[in-house]
Structure 1
């Protein structure tokens, strides 16, 4: 029973390998057909020139050394030189062509992966650590290139060279050829058994190396926290464990990969020794031509290298295919918030937002919003207040369709956002998060991400409104100053003001502010709040805040508790309810105690 199970597993794995190979060639083969044809032609020339070298050895020995024919003393060496020259030129061109194809394939899949990752839902990135994901992709992306190039070079160069040389051997001596070819079956059986072990070890090694790189990246990103909490030794111990595990896996892969060497060398040695012994015996006893024997042995020795590479092909191909398979595992993921087929674009005329009995949670059976219903009137400011975990930031996430609600509807001007394209929905929203994020590039670039077609004048005007111009002018190159990773050279308040400027330049009818002033000092908060109030006029604005002073002028305030609206009204109306939650929050903040961040 156990034997049958292993056999079925092998058949299944071979089926997966064949399907993966078919997919790789189907997606890429046609685009590179012309270039591969030239590379293959060069490899055929290399194979033919190698076989020619073995073939001509018979005349070299018989005509020059045995018959001592002076007439060909120049032509035969010239032919040998020409074959080496042709082989060298063909090898150069095939190497350059295959490298260019490989580099283009890597670039193609990097673009494809990035485009696909940006289409995946926010929850995917919540479930996968970004540093680990980036490290894994960095290792996997070469798998497609290696699969194609290994297959092409092995078939066009090694296999053809081996076939040509075996042809030379058979023409010279069929009996000796049969003796030499007996080495093939045992080597093939051994390689197949090693490939199965290598498949598992390679995947483990890729995961471990990705974790090592991810840990290093996370440490670099959080270096201030690392030093502040003296985490150096703890992190060194953790990464030491990962590095040792990765080293052990790499050593195992090396041991498995190289295990074919001793067996291949031993079997080949026996075959070559038997051929030399038997051919020598026939030459001594029966006077066989030394030229034919030398040509045969030359072909046999030249055939050893391509045969050895072909013996390792399955092992090398397994490693490449594991990487390719892990790339396709990402590419085959479907976004969890796809646009409905034929979905129309969102048409925003007023900007009214309605939550209609919305139920949602991040984990099955654990709803955060429990039938939440409210209306954010067009052109008015709606503020959300409440204790941590009540669902305020979840409202912001659902409105942008970072997640889809379990039940209920979210409407913008009467249009269900689940039925319109995500791009048109988000294109009508400007968003400022509580954790500002800046990208590689200049200050001007980061503001322009809000609207790529914004002019320099519009960018500078948005910065002025966000009270950011003052500190931007002090930077070495002003708006053209390059930023470090996530703008670490700037203070938290400065980063937040750039984030606000990015939202302002978008000029969208709906504005979402999720603790937009939480990172600002008192002076900056006062200035930015004044700027935001002027910008919010005429726009539908939803504000999440825990400082009541920042929302006192809101048109309506919703107190959210336990995923439901428990109070609503203006600042004055809610304070008048002396026993309400809002009044309680106001009393605590008046006493110097914050209500907690959302």
Structure 2
């Protein structure tokens, strides 16, 4: 901490600071209530048993202090032979009860905590799969995963800290203070003078820690995200000799994270020296005063020993309680960041009145659709067209013209700004997203494969597909030949995103996944872009068979793949520049399609537009 950070705020700003502190306390209190409301009722029996165990720990701890008076007076002062047998047995049994109670509460709270973490991991994954595509466009996936990984334990820690502190530490302190007061009220008053200064100091540090903890979480998430991105893109890293620049960038993040973590440690551990000094002064004063009274006035050594034992045993729960607010602040910052994600509402949420899509013919129409990813930068400008049912509509044009955006809007990854998209005359905003997407098979430009075997990845297209269905789809996608060459065939595990396969092989698996879905609407976004000439020819034949009797929208750069389309639309600047069949468009010598075709067939023409 710098000197400027330790200075008190100006008097004029203090009312605002106090208001902010009250608001923060209110937010944290609501957060704790929410956590207990969502979780406590699920573990009533387990928490009840754990609390009983914690009460036993607190009670046995206080009992050990209380019995020290009889141990000293009966055995060492009075020489009671019976007590030599009974009191050690009682002490031993007390430790046995304490040990089993500690084991019980430890195991129960760990199980509860693990279950809470597992449930929130499920909730987070469910929420992430519900959120719209634009959320992931705004948040880097690696950073998001790293942040969640750090935050997910916050709710567990908050609940467990609260339970153990209230049922063990608070009760232990109350019981031990009760023993101290019972033994000697005056000495108790001396010892308890340490409480107010420690409480004030902890409250001050907790406020500072709240902001710093969030900063540490964010920076650590960036560190983990950078490592994950480097691992995912290792071939690019090595191909472009990016090792040194990435190490330098990571070094800056690591140093920042280290500095922030050191700051958190410095703030968190400030409680230790102050607590030790104040508690040491109180304990030393009690020992000195009790020793003086025992020597001068002949007070019972048993009572003094019991009091000092209770005081020393009370120090441990008092020390934990002194750090409790600091620990809770850190845990609740993590918990709050989890709820920030859980409370997000999908931008493309279903309407309350949304109904399932009942497909009749499968006709798709775009009616004056306008859309932009960023305000003022329209990608589509009032585009209108109809994709006839059971026919193939091809979209071509220069990159950035809006072709892939049409594919995304069709699946309602985004909502249109103006106009409407209809399936069989029904606005897709009036039907459920799930029912819409189950009627669509989609092959993206960049294929993505998931953890699991080749068979598992194809089956993701339709989870009830049989092995025969999967193998038939693979054959139609011209994928079976290379699949059977794999070590375990269809049951071969894939590396991350199928890194051991070529781009064309990954694309053919993606096509097989779409084919096994057997949906009435087929969307192909550059489906053959990653294939070599031989594979493209084979897959194109398979796709032509798959497109029969299906409403198909295909985005393509290679015109050879769409010459047989029922209609071809040329997209330019977010608008439809021209449309027709291949023969009709080629016969327009000054049309965009004719120029694209001339370029790809290596015929020279005027003002040829590149397919960049």
Provide, for residues 291-310 of structure 1, a one-character-per-residue CA deviation record: whole Å limited to 9, x for no partner.
11110000000000000000
1:358 and 2:369 are equivalent in the alignment: yes
Please state whether the residue corresponding to 1:339 is helix, strand or coil.
coil
2:452 is equivalent to residue 441 of structure 1 = yes
CA distance in 2 between counterparts of 1:26 and 1:535 reads 52
Q: Which runs of 4+ in 1 moved over 4 A?
A: 592-598
Alignment of 1:372 with 2:383, yes or no, is: yes
Asked if the contact 2:443–2:523 (Cα under 8 Å) also holds between the matched residues in 1, the reply is: yes
Is residue 546–residue 596 contact of structure 1 (8 Å, CA) maintained in 2? no
Helix, strand or coil at the partner of 1:370: strand
1:136-161 deviations in whole A, cap 9, x for unaligned?
A: 00000000000000000011110000
1:261 to 254, 266, 272: 272
Contact 1:143 1:320 in 2 (8 A): yes
Q: Measure the CA separation in 1 of the matches of 2:186 and 2:28.
A: 37
Distance in structure 2 (CA, Å) of the matches to 1:478 and 1:10: 62
8 Å contact kept, 1:436–1:495:
yes
- Give the TM-score normalised by the residue count of structure 1: 0.99
Counterpart for residue 9 of structure 2: none
1:422 to 426, 433, 436: 433
- Of the candidates 12, 16, 19, which is equivalent to residue 8 of structure 1? 19
Match of 1:67 in 2: 78
Contact 1:546/1:595 (CA < 8 Å) preserved in 2? no
Q: For 1:119, which of 99, 122, 130 is the aligned residue? A: 130
Q: Distance between the aligned counterparts of 1:19 and 1:48, measured in 2? A: 31
Q: Tell me whether 1:495 sits opposite 2:506 in the alignment.
A: yes
Structure 1 SS opposite 2:374: coil
Q: 2:4 aligns to what? A: none
| Secondary structure in 2 matching 1:361 | strand
TM-score of the aligned structures, taking structure 2 as reference length: 0.97
What per-residue deviation string (whole Å, max 9, x for no partner) do you get for residues 80-105 of structure 1?
Answer: 11111110010001000000000000
Q: CA deviation at 1:458?
A: 0.5
Whole-Å Cα distance in 2 between the matches of residues 107 and 196 of structure 1?
Answer: 30
Among 158, 162, 173, which residue is 1:151 paired with?
A: 162
Aligned mates of 2:54, 2:116 — CA distance in 1: 20
Aligned pairs (5 A) from 1:204-215: 204-215=215-226
Corresponding residue number in structure 2 for 1:233: 244
Q: 2:54 aligns with which of 39, 43, 65?
A: 43
Change (3 A) 1:116 1:154: same
Residue 243 of structure 1, CA deviation: 0.6
Q: Which runs of 5+ in 1 are unaligned?
A: none
Aligned equivalents of 1:53 and 1:408: distance in 2?
78
Residue 206 (structure 2) aligns with: 195
Match of 2:310 among 299, 308, 319: 299
Aligned counterparts, 1:336-485, within 5 A: 336-485=347-496
Give yes or no for the alignment of 1:571 onto 2:585: no
Using the TM superposition, give the Cα deviation of residue 596 of structure 1 relative to its aligned residue in structure 2, in angstroms. Answer: 6.2
Aligned counterpart, 1:20:
31
What is the correspondence of 1:65-144 to structure 2 with a 5 Å cutoff? 65-144=76-155
Secondary structure at 1:101 match in 2: helix
Match of 1:538 among 528, 539, 549: 549
Cα distance between partner residues in 2 of 1:343 and 1:232: 51
1:172 aligns with 2:180: no
Compute the RMSD of aligned alpha carbons: 1.1
CA distance in 2, matches of 1:42, 1:32: 15
Tell me how far 1:595 sits from its aligned partner. Answer: 6.6
SS at 2:383 equivalent: strand
CA offset digits 1:524-554 (Å, max 9, x no partner): 0000001100110100000000111110000
Does the CA-based 8 Å contact 1:447-1:502 persist in structure 2? yes
- For residues 195 and 344 of structure 2, the distance between their equivalents in structure 1, rounded to whole angstroms, comes to 42
Cα 1:595–1:467 change in 2 (3 A) is farther
Instruction: Output the CA distance in 2 between the equivalents of 1:128 and 1:117.
Output: 11
Answer yes or no: is 1:556 the counterpart of 2:567. yes
Question: What are the superposed Cα offsets for residues 213-234 of structure 1, whole Å, 9 maximum, x if unpaired?
Answer: 1000000000000000000000
- Give the C-alpha shift of residue 200 in structure 1: 1.0
**Distance across 1 between alignment mates of 2:222 and 2:316:** 37
CA distance in 2, matches of 1:498, 1:66: 87
**Distance in 1 separating the partners of 2:560 and 2:380:** 26
- Structure 2 CA distance for partners of 1:560 and 1:506, relative to 1, 3 Å: same
Deviation at 1:342, TM superposition (A): 2.8
Residues 355 and 82 of structure 1, relative CA distance in 2, 3 Å threshold: same
